[in-house]
Structure 1
Amino acid sequence: MVLIMAILMLVAAPFQSEEVQAASVWTVYKDAQKLEARGKYKEAIAKYKQIAPVFVKDKEYGNAAQMYRRIGDCYKGLKQYDNAVVNWDLEADYSGKANQTQISIAAKRKANMLRSTAKLYVEQQAGQGTTYKGTKFVPANGALIGAYAEMDKKVNDPKQGKYFTKQFPVMTGKKHAAYLLYFNYGSDPVLLAKHLERAEASGTALQIGVQPIHGLEQVKDDAYLRNFARMIGDTEVPVFLRFANEMNGGWVKWNGDPKKYIEKFRLVAKVFREEAKDNVAMVWAPGANPTYTIESYYPGDAYVDWVGVSLYSIFDPSLDPLKQGEDRSSHLDKFDYIYKLYGDRKPVFISEGGVSYMYPEKRQDKTSWAVYKMQEFYASLPMVYPKVKGVFWFDSNGNATERIKYYMLSANSRLLQAYKDAVANPFYLSSIGEKASVSYKQINNSTINAGKLKVSAYVKTWAPTLSKVTYKIGGLTVATTSAPPWKAEVDFRPYKGKKIELSIQAYDSSGKLVTTQKVKVTVK
């Protein structure tokens, strides 16, 4: 009778979690489950919120994570996605404390797919920028554009006299600063000679992805390695030497032994610096995932000149938290981990990447999705990650892994046009030694000048694509724009000397308002 009365008192005081006794927690949990199953999400949330703090207090973090997952799921049922995100973030935090790494990663991924954010920027003349003293080929402002185009016969067919160094700029409407090639360690370096000649003739750099396909044991300080380094060093071509990339992934033979990997990377760096010297920059480039193994493979600042990352998006609805067959992930956000980890220490860049225009498992065309993700990525990258120093597009289709890839620009006219428009941005540089003339300043909760300013925004919501964004001040619409980076000119002169709140309203592809994000600024 006493236990029943305790439970009744608990239900009557849903937010007084300190009154929940350990013996009654699971009874309340079962009641909450029943309510959730009947679609009574508000009532279920109240009960889950009673018992989650009890688990936290008792340091039962795994159980606490489970409660916050349930709360998030209930908010999802109510279509209150911002509240769902808050609780899935808590699920990620507490499952991490419980050493449930994979659950934590999945919870954070789920939260990020429904997270709504807006960052507001003003365009300005480029300042001094970041050059990373002593590091080769780094633009002060802007990012070098590059591509892997060897497999695209539209631009590269040696039998027909076509070479990507000449034809890729024709197809895309802009000279590219560098091209990616792959080279199997142990092969004759002479195989690279023609590529080096063409790169020198066209005034472009090369990123050479050196892959020890027979394992790290084959890499030694011997005549082969030194001859290879001397051959590269005898040219005038700037070379980004990317040794054994994506080492953090189980799909490569050089994964699994970080200590040995570091030893071999340092060896290659040492030999190339002794034999090739000034025209080679050493690139260390993991894959974007898995993130939890990346740092264990880092060779050290003394051996790494540039940090790259492989960054791909292939349509995948299996992770849609709303189970609506959508891919709500952000291609741009995948760069965040590497950028924040190394961007202050080393020049960082996307050493290869792309957005696939097909859903391979279903052979469904996803061009509209891919075009939007590409457009958003190239438009937002200069604002959100201003220290990025290069971007290489993987211009190829293939079946090298379990998922067929569709990135080839010449095979999709809409994707090609989107790419042309994207790299036309003056932030993207055609040659080493150039510097971008524009930069962007984030103005969330900051001070701006009273004038007509060019504003842009990075807006992310649970909607996979957006059709327009409006800017409002004091309830009045001051600008409407229809494509990332949501650029518009806003006259701030009427607000001189005031603190104002600028509302950023985003609409999905059907024209429905999906989020309103507010940014406070002081106009001087």
Structure 2
Amino acid sequence: MLGQKKWKSVLLLLIAVMVLSITAIPGGNAYAMNVWGIYKEAQQLEAKGKYTEAIAKYKIIAAEFVKTQQYGNASNIYRNIGADYSILGKYDDAVASWDLEALYAGKVGQTQISIAAKRKADALRSSAQLFVETEAAKLGNTNYHQAIFEPKNGALIGAYAELDPKVHNAKTSNPFYTEGFPQLTGKKHAAYLLYFTYGNPLSSLKSHIEEARANGTALQLGIQPIKGLNQVQDDAYLHQFAQEIADAGIPIFVRFANEMNGDWVPWNGNPKLYIEKFRLVANVIHKTAPDSAAMVWAPGQIPEYNIEDYYPGDAYVDWVGVSLYTIFNPTLDPLKKGEDRSSHLDKFDLIYKLYADRKPVFISEGGVSYMYPEKLQDKTAWSSYQLKQFYMTLPMVYPKVKGVFYFDSNHDASNRVKYYMLSANAKLLEAYKQSIASPFYLSTVGDESPIAYRKISGATVEASTQKVSAYVKSWTPILSKVTYEIGGKVVAATTQLPWKASINFAVYKGKSITVVVKAYDSNGKLATTQKVPVTVK
């Protein structure tokens, strides 16, 4: 038997040997030498440009980390795998890897890493949704909330236009935007946005109200309590203001203290007080002008985390709006190629999911900038595509949307010009004209759309010739062509958003089929292939 001191010496020696034979992967715990060896081999393969071989090595390590529940290290390895796949141009595989990075980072509470990984994945994620055009009457009240001024189907088009000198002369009122903007865009608009300082009399907008009445348009008042929420009281001013709205003789959307979730407005920061004041205004407006005004609650699209904190409640809100802007931003491009791969349309998703089943939802103001302001780079092709995709696809993906207001201005707040003005960019103007030409977009409060859309992805389609459209998203920000294949044969091809084509489904009656959607980038190269299951009735 070894003595106690000798035994301790042997034990310490064994521990020392074990320590020397163990190392750690950055950001994680210690692992056996063979795991570290595989990791180093993967890095060496990357250095030689052998990314496929490196991925194979990384996958061995990742599987081991998941097996042993070392999720932090698993997340790190999947980040590397995704990066290597992106270098190889295998973007679907990169997306799958970054999804796993997000998953395992979340398991160990690495929230910011998880969010960043999800953002990378979403930027490159490819998808396709198919829709068929149908008669709106067939949908009945499916998309209807029975709210004031709400069409059963279709979206009112509106704009903020008084700062566009081509359509409005503030000094002479010739032209006035109610006439000038339709002339510019080729279509009458149902409503116009005006900003209004709380505490002023509505009579200060007399000319705007008269022009709106004469032209059969509504107004959206962006009411701003500049002096803070405590300025809003149950007093003579509020009741007089409500009476002026009732007497105006036009439909008025009362958008009180919008973008309250953002720290750039003085009414941000106290959700309880905000809700109290919104409810006060809503109660007075609803009592005094029940047939003349809709109370609009409209946060900004960002930040998202606190939007619901400010919701006043269904009894006080008639419509839910959102400020929705996109300015070219390449800083989040996971491929580091100076592209903005986000979708302006997708930014509407959260508001829609939260409130569209309860209230009519709309874009109360928004646009896509045609310049990258930080670099003063022209991004007209990108913005025109984003704008067309947004307006043309919105009725399909978000059928309960009931209005869209375009921000027609080159706004210079905060010393950062934001370039949205249609009259200043002929291509963007043409994109807008094409976008709003659809009969889904309504020119007058009280109009109804004759058409609607029904999603057929993973659902059924009638066995006849159908007008098919699609929302196709891919890693490339601009697509140039989409083809539809069934049974290995191309049945339709189109080069124009929203990828509309006529397909005869009669020959597939009673069958479950797969529609293969192929999308091509701006250079005509295949960007993604998506398989969409459809059952033909």
Is contact 1:446-1:522 (8 Å) kept? yes
Residue pair 2:144, 2:153 contacting (<8 A) in 1 also: no
SS at match of 2:413: coil
Distance 1:500 1:506 in 2: 19
Given candidates 138, 145, 148, the residue that maps to 2:150 is 138
1:13 equivalent in structure 2: none
Superposition map of 1:286-301 within 5 A: 286-301=299-314
Aligned partner of 2:361 in structure 1 is 348
Decide which of 150, 168, 175 is 2:162's aligned counterpart. Answer: 150
Code of the aligned partner of 1:279:
S
Structure 2 equivalent of residue 493 of structure 1: 506
State the alpha-carbon separation in 1 of the partners of residues 72 and 315 from structure 2. Answer: 40
Amino acid at match of 1:156: H
Range with bigger deviation, 377-386 or 132-141: 132-141
- Contact in 2 for aligned 1:450/1:496 (Cα 8 Å): yes
Find out whether 1:81 has 2:91 as its counterpart: yes
2:451 and 2:146 mapped to 1: Cα distance? 24
Assess if the C-alpha contact under 8 Å between 2:391 and 2:436 holds in 1. Answer: yes
Bigger CA radius of gyration: 2
Residues 27-82 of structure 1: CA deviation (Å, up to 9, x unaligned): 65555445445444334434443444565567665444333322222221222111
2:396 matched residue in structure 1:
383
Q: Distance in 2 between matches of 1:279 and 1:229?
A: 10
1:178 paired residue number: 191
Cα displacement (A) at 1:125: 0.8
From the superposition, tell whether residues 215 and 139 of structure 1 become closer, same or farther in structure 2 (CA, over 3 Å). same
User: Deviation of residue 397 (structure 1)?
Assistant: 0.4
SS in 1 for 2:381: helix
The equivalences for 1:186-335 within 5 A come to: 186-335=199-348
TM-score between the two structures when normalised by the length of structure 2: 0.89
Q: Distance in 2 between matches of 1:133 and 1:332?
A: 23
Residue by residue over 1:155-194, the C-alpha shift from the partner in whole angstroms, topping out at 9 and shown as x without a partner, is 1103232211121111111111110000122233321222
Deviation of 1:428 (Å): 0.4
Task: Give the CA deviation at 1:431.
Answer: 1.0
* 1:523 positional shift: 2.4
**Mapped partners of 2:168, 2:324: distance in 1:** 23
Paired positions, count: 513
Deviation at 1:278, TM superposition (A): 2.1
The alpha carbon displacement at 1:412 in A equals 1.0
The range that moved more, 29-38 or 265-274, is 29-38
SS of 1:299's equivalent in the other structure is coil
Residue 359 of structure 1: aligned partner: 372
Q: Does 1:109 align with 2:112?
A: no
Distance 1:3 1:382, change over 3 A: farther
**Identical pairs, percent:** 64
Asked if 1 retains the 8 angstrom alpha-carbon contact of 2:372 and 2:378, the reply is yes
Length-normalised TM-score, structure 1: 0.91
Partner of 1:45: 55
> Which residue type is aligned with residue 473 of structure 1?
I
Which stretch of structure 1 is more off in the superposition, 489-498 or 467-476? 489-498
Kindly provide the amino acid, as one letter, of the partner of residue 86 in structure 1: A
**Could you give the per-residue CA deviations for residues 385-440 of structure 1, whole angstroms, max 9, x where no partner exists?**
11110001000002113532111111111111111111110110111111111111
Residue of structure 1 equivalent to 2:535 = 522
C-alpha change, 1:246 and 1:35, in structure 2 (3 Å) is farther
Q: 1:124 corresponds to which residue? A: 134
TM-superposed CA distance for 1:91, in Å, is 2.8
Unaligned residue ranges in structure 1 (runs of 5+):
8-19
**1:93, CA displacement in angstroms?**
3.5
Structure 2 counterpart SS, 1:401? helix
After superposition, what is the alpha-carbon deviation per residue over 1:97-151, rounded to whole angstroms, capped at 9, x for unaligned?
4444443333222211101101111111112144654521111001110000010
Alignment-mate amino acid for residue 75 of structure 1: Y
Which stretch of the first structure deviates more once superposed, 142-151 or 289-298? 289-298
Amino acid at match of 2:255: R
Matched, 1:468 2:478: no
Residues 331 and 377 in structure 1, CA contact (< 8 A), matched pair in contact too = yes
Which whole-Å CA distance do the structure 2 matches of 1:290 and 1:41 have between them?
A: 38
State the distance in 1 between where 2:233 and 2:369 align: 38
Bigger mean CA offset, 65-74 vs 97-106: 97-106
Deviations 1:306-351 (A, max 9, x none): 1111111111111111111111111111111111111111111111
Question: What secondary structure sits across from 2:171 in the alignment?
Answer: helix
The CA RMSD over aligned residues, in Å, is 2.5
C-alpha distance 220-509 of structure 1, shift in aligned 2 (>3 A): same
Mapped to 2, the partners of 1:37 and 1:259 lie a distance apart of 56
Q: Is the 8 A contact 1:131 1:138 kept in 2?
A: no
Give the one of 145, 153, 159 matched to 2:171: 159
**Kindly tell me: are residues 152 and 461 of structure 1, through their superposed partners in 2, closer, same or farther at Cα, counting changes over 3 Å?**
same
Q: In the alignment, does 2:432 pair up with 1:422? A: no
SS of the residue corresponding to residue 530 of structure 2 reads strand
Deviates more, 1:293-302 or 1:50-59: 50-59
**For 1:454, what is the secondary structure of its paired residue?**
strand
Distance 1:56 1:240, change over 3 A: farther
Separation of aligned partners in 2, 1:283 and 1:95: 39
Q: Which runs of 5+ in 2 are unaligned?
A: 1-13, 23-28
